[in-house]
Amino acid sequence: MAVERIGLVVHQGRRAALDAARTVHAWGEAHGVPCTEIDVWRDHEPRHDDQEEASAAGNPDLVVTLGGDGTFLRGARIAARSDAAVLGVDLGRVGFLTEVPAAHVTEALDAVHHDRAVVERRMTLTMRASRPLEMPSEVEALLRHGRGPSLPPPHVRAGATGEGWGVPLDIIALNDIVLEKLARDRQVALGVYIAGRLLASYSADAVIVATPTGSTAYSFAAGGPVLSPHMDAVVFTPVAPHMTFDRTVVAAPDEPVALRILPHSGEVAVSIDGQLRGALEPGDWVGVYGATYRLRLVRLGPIDFYTRLRERFHLTDAPATAADGQAAPLFRPDTPVPDDLAHLRFPPLPEAPPEERTGPRR
């Protein structure tokens, strides 16, 4: 894709991010590509919604984020508005979404501009609710103490709502949608429905509905499984539930997860990709489901997700296997892939240039 306009999201608290931002601006000037910094705010100013941010940047076709996964998610919500691709420059610690080292920003932009990069399309979530989300001012002040201003509640999407189907909210979540308790002594009490049928009523600190991409984030920390980001699924994980059944449920991508706040529940906060966006009261409900929109992630080559999983989580081998040494590679000798394996996904051979790699690349 020939880049025509860049939106830039910078982690302002990191010098390396500020240095990398200057490099991106310089690349834009050299190539005649406008570059606008977006999602910039001051503590005493309100933040803008994604439509306003995208419009202010001229609806960029590429959003570059400089920071960790949190910064990437800030850029992703704006990119979704104009169907822009997102390039994450890695300045984080345990990120799975960012990829490009800061020292290679120029090479990465050249690769995107000259159509040498790989674009992955990741599943996202959206939601309906019994009413538009609102955030009581006293609740926002409590939860935002010591932090920057919050995003405004999401708008209601245009279109017919349908009686009994709630209002469609204009949100896209790449990682997860979380309902969590506001007060320490008041659990969240929820009726959880999957594909329209009651699964169980939960009393918990929080519940998480995640994508496969988000399975390595909050859901994983709460004991959920790791899912390949190349698959489609809706992952429901309760956090510290007061009940015997405390397992994650992995639903099909066309099976919505609905959450109804029960009469004796405490007040509930709703977060979308880690950003507080509203509060719910007993009697309210939300339905979370796979969106038709897929976020476009820019990669410099096919992603080796499981090597990244081992490295980022510092996975260690069982002590009992120490005498065996490191396990030898499996599959992928330096020969063509057999016909009966040709439909499978394999990582690239690190020693082979891209034009010599065998096997399918999706």
Catalytic residue numbers read 69
CA 135 to chain centre: 23
Beta strands in 153-310 (DSSP E): 167-173, 176-181, 188-194, 197-204, 206-210, 234-239, 249-251, 257-261, 268-272, 275-280, 285-299
Residue with tokens 């859901």: 219
- For the record, the structure tokens of 74 come out as 């800030």
DSSP 87: E
The DSSP result for 99-154, as a single string, is -EEGGGHHHHHHHHHTT-SEEEEEEEEEEEESS--B--HHHHHHHTTTS-PPPPPP
The DSSP result for 134-146, as a single string, is B--HHHHHHHTTT
Residue with tokens 């910094």: 37
**Secondary structure tally for the chain: helices H, strands E:** 7, 17
- For the record, the structure tokens of 90 come out as 């890695």
Cα→Cα distances 205→190, 261, 353, Å: 11, 13, 49
- For the record, the structure tokens of 273 come out as 């990709």
